[in-house]
Each structure stands twice: as structure tokens, then as C-alpha cells.
């Protein structure tokens, strides 16, 4: 059975979710998280998308981004996830797929739900019982924005 076509829209915001294959851990140490963020910066500079929020969980990723051209979403995610897979497999002497299937994307309208989606993404570590306060989780856009880290990564 063929998979459902991805819903795309010009100048849309997307909530992107990518999960590790078989829910495996995809970030084992801080340098892994840092590498993924560096890849996001590289592709943001190349494709000029806007990143509103992110949360890098041990076994999955949430991104809230806006792309100007719908065909760029696949190119961005393919580039970031492939680049990270190559890094991960080389570092941990693995082969094969790191990510479970293709990434999921949901179109988010630029209204009140955009803010709710940002809260949902940034509060993910609390729901997963990784921390009690979002201030404690280092791999969420919440702390990056609060501490003015990587200002060129975000839209304010």
C-alpha cells in the first residue's frame, strides 16, 4: 500500500517529527546534539528557512519551521538527517538506517496554534520525565533563546 502524500503549502509552518529507528537513541552524548544543531545551521543558511522552535530528545526530534518554497522541506530534512546519519554511523561504527521511516510533518497555521505548538515542542522533556523544569533541559530552543545562544538560528 503506497504511503500518503505529504501535505505541502507555500510559505507554511511545519511541525516536523523524526524518530530514531525502532525508537533507538540517536543522541548519546552532548557532541551528538551539537552536531545536529550545526547541521541545522548549515541547512538554514543554505535554504533560508525560519526556525521557531526545536527540541532534540534522546530518540526523536521536534522542529517548528517555516519554508518559503514547499519543495525545500524535503531537501532540508533529507540533508540534515542524512548528514547526521553519516556522522552517527561513522562515530559509533554502525551501518544502515538511523531514522524510522520518513519524517512526519504537519502544517501549522500562523495563529494562536503556532504558539501552542512551540509550547508543546519545548515542554517535551517534561512530558517525557527527563526534567522537572524546562530550564533544566539543554537541547530545547527554550534555553537557547533565553541565553541568546545561536541567535542566527531562530526567528524572533
Q: What are the tens digits of pLDDT across the range 106-145? A: 998 777 788 999 999 999 999 999 999 999 999 999 887 6
SS3 of residue 110 by DSSP = coil
Nearest CA-CA partner of 84 in 154, 37, 52, 22? 37
- Kindly list the domain boundaries of the chain, sorted by start residue: 12-153
The arithmetic mean of pLDDT across residues 33-54, rounded, is: 93
The arithmetic mean of pLDDT across residues 46-69, rounded, is: 93
Q: How far apart are CA 50 and CA 42, in angstroms?
A: 13
Burial class (CB in 10 A: 0-12, 13-18, 19+), 63: buried
pTM to 2 decimal places: 0.86
Tell me what pLDDT residue 27 has. Answer: 98
Under DSSP, the state recorded for 151 is G
Query: Grid coordinates representing 132?
Result: 522537572
Q: What are the tens digits of pLDDT across the range 81-115? A: 999 999 999 999 999 999 998 899 999 877 778 89
Tell me what pLDDT residue 92 has. Answer: 96
Nearest CA-CA partner of 43 in 20, 75, 12? 75
Q: What is the mean pLDDT of the chain?
A: 87
Place of cell 552524548: 29
CATH architecture of 12-153: 2-Layer Sandwich (3.30)
Tell me what pLDDT residue 71 has. Answer: 76
Q: How far apart are CA 17 and CA 91, in angstroms?
A: 23
Nearest CA-CA partner of 27 in 136, 135, 140, 131? 140
What dihedral angle (degrees, nearest 10) is formed by the CA atoms of 10, 78, 24, 140? -50
* pLDDT higher than 70, residue 11: no
Tell me what pLDDT residue 156 has. Answer: 38
Amino acid at each position: 500500500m503506497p504511503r500518503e502524500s505529504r501535505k505541502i503549502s507555500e510559505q507554511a509552518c511545519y511541525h516536523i517529527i523524526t524518530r530514531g529507528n525502532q525508537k533507538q537513541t540517536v543522541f548519546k552524548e552532548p557532541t551528538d546534539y551539537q552536531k545536529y544543531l550545526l547541521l541545522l545551521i548549515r541547512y538554514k543558511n543554505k535554504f533560508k528557512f525560519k526556525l521557531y522552535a526545536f527540541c532534540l530528545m534522546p530518540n526523536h526530534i521536534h522542529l517548528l519551521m517555516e519554508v518559503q518554497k514547499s519543495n525545500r522541506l524535503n531537501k532540508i530534512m533529507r540533508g540534515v538527517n542524512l548528514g547526521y546519519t553519516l556522522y552517527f554511523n561513522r562515530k559509533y561504527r554502525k551501518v544502515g538506517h538511523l531514522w524510522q521511516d520518513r519524517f512526519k510533518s504537519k502544517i501549522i497555521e500562523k495563529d494562536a496554534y503556532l504558539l501552542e505548538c512551540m509550547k508543546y515542542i519545548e515542554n517535551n522533556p517534561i512530558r517525557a520525565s527527563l526534567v522537572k523544569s524546562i530550564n533544566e533541559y539543554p537541547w530545547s530552543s527554550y534555553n537557547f533563546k533565553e541565553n541568546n545562544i545561536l541567535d542566527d538560528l531562530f526567528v524572533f
